Each structure stands twice: as structure tokens, then as C-alpha cells.
Amino acid sequence: MRRCGGGDAAHPRAHRSLSRAMRYLALALVLLCSGCAAPQFVAQVSVRHTIDTPFAGKRFAFQRTPEQSQSLLQQNVESQVGTALSQQGLRFADREQDADWLVALDYGVDDGKAVTRQVPVWGTVGYSVYYQRISTGQGVVLVPSYFPQTGIVGSVPVTDTVYTRFLNVDIFDRKPLAAGDFAKRYEGSASNQSAEREFDPALPWLIRALFQSFPGFSGTTSEVRFELPKK
């Protein structure tokens, strides 16, 4: 018994079976590539303000709660937010009485919440057949070979804890505030949901999301995405 050479064509069913196999292989490659996509930082940004005149050159200072006044984390957040405000054309004032605007910060991570999602289960959903022509002394014999077809056969629930990391920035006009009048000029918030509870790694991305278009369109909420550097 010998295998047929190039002169013996495969059975038409073989072509159809190979075609199906190639389609499933292509699907598997697409799913594999999607799983290898670059990680992203996704933030929800909400903005409301009454800043309708040029603000470059205005001086700002940070307003602190008693708890924030002796906080190293507060100093870190102020430093990064202050840099972002300076990049928008504002100037930092060492003393509140020298500032045009007072900036109040609120930030942190919540206690997390359980989120259940359905994860697909992959398995064998059928078989494709490939017929190989074998030449024998009695003629040509078609020998079948079977290949499993993979697909989704069900799903299982998986529960994760998701934490919300947030940064809120409020800006007040100092003089109306001192007079007891309504003084808020800007309120913006950026939040990110993640399986990670650490706040510090998220802070630069939250600031970037909030200040990439300052002051932004008032009364809007948008989703901002950044590609994270690969580890």
C-alpha cells in the first residue's frame, strides 16, 4: 500500500472539510489576538463649569481640610494636579490670599463591589472529516480522518471584586467665597474601575483624563481611554 502522489486529487469533501478547518483556525487566531490586545486605562470623566472667559495667568492655591493639611498623599496629589493646572496656563500662589482661584481635592478608592460575569466554556462541538485517497492493488480507497471542531459549549459565572478609584477637583473664585457668595467655577471628576485597589498607580492617568481638555464642555460625561505601557 502506498500514498498517492500529486496526480491523485483529493475527494471534494476533503476540500470542504479543510475549508471549515481553516475557518475555525482563523477564528481561533482572532480570539487569541484579541486576548493579547494592549491593556488600557479607562476613565469616566464628568465636567461642569462656568469658565467662559480666558483664564491663563490666573493664580491658584490649594484649599485643604484639617485631615489633608498633614497628609503626604495630599502633597503628592497637589503636586501632580498643580503641574496639570500650570500646563493650562495658570500660576501657583504660595498663599491663599494671593490666589484668584482656590482648588479643593477629593480622591481615593472605594471598598469595592462584587461583579459577576459569565465566562464562556470552550469544548468540542462536532467533527470535520478529511478523506485521503490511497491507491491499492484493487483500486483507490478513501480513508477518513476526523478533526474536532471547537466552539462555545456553555458558560460559568465568575465573581470579581471591582474597585473604583476617583479624583474630584473643585475650583472656587476666592473673592466671592470670602464674601459668602456663590463661588464655584468648576467641578470635575474622573474615575476608573479596576481589580486593583492601589490608588497611586491610577493618579497620573486620572489627572491626564481630567485635564486633557480643560475646562471641557460643561455638563458632559465621557469615557477616556489610554493605552498602558506593556510590563
The rounded distance, in Å, linking the Cα atoms of 135 and 157 is 52
Q: Beta strands 113-136 and 139-173: pairing type?
A: antiparallel
Question: Do 99 and 180 reside in the same domain of the chain?
Answer: yes
**Are 135 and 72 members of one domain?**
no
Give the torsion through C-alpha atoms of 209, 213, 217, 220, to 10 deg. -10
Place of cell 504660595: 94
Q: Note whether 76 and 166 are same-domain residues.
A: yes
Do 175 and 151 share a structural domain?
Answer: no
pLDDT tens-digit profile of 4-52? 334 444 444 444 444 554 554 555 554 544 455 689 999 999 999 999 9
CA torsion 161→162→163→169, rounded to 10°?
A: -170
Residues 77-107 have pLDDT tens digits of 999 999 999 999 999 999 999 999 999 999 9
One domain, residues 19 and 91: no
Residue 146 belongs to domain spanning: 2-36+123-157
Q: Both 183 and 135 in a single domain?
A: no
146 Cβ contact partners less than 8 Å away, ≥ 6 residues apart? 127, 128, 129, 130
Indicate the pTM of the whole model: 0.72
Same-domain check for residues 135 and 28: yes
Helix, strand, coil % over all residues of the chain, rounded to 5? 25, 45, 25
Give the per-residue pLDDT at 36: 59
CATH number at residue 183: 3.30.160.670
Assess whether 110 and 168 both reside in one domain: yes
Strand-pair partners of 200: none
Q: Domain count of the chain?
A: 2
Stated length of the chain: 231
Q: CA 221 to CA 48: how far, in whole Å?
A: 9
Are 55 and 111 contained in the same domain? yes
Give yes or no: residues 11 and 99 share one domain.
no
Same domain, 101 and 195: yes
The per-residue pLDDT for range 110-142, each reduced to its tens digit, is: 999 999 989 899 999 888 888 888 888 788 888
Rounded distance, CA 69 to CA 106, Å? 13
Is residue 121 packed enough to be buried (19+ CB in 10 Å), middle (13-18) or exposed (0-12)? exposed
**Strand residues in 110-203 grouped as ranges (E):** 113-136, 139-173, 184-194
Which pairing describes strands 59-63 and 91-92: parallel, antiparallel, or unpaired? parallel
Q: Which three cell numbers stand for residue 157?
A: 459565572
Residues 153 and 48 in one domain: no
Cell 482572532, residue located: 30
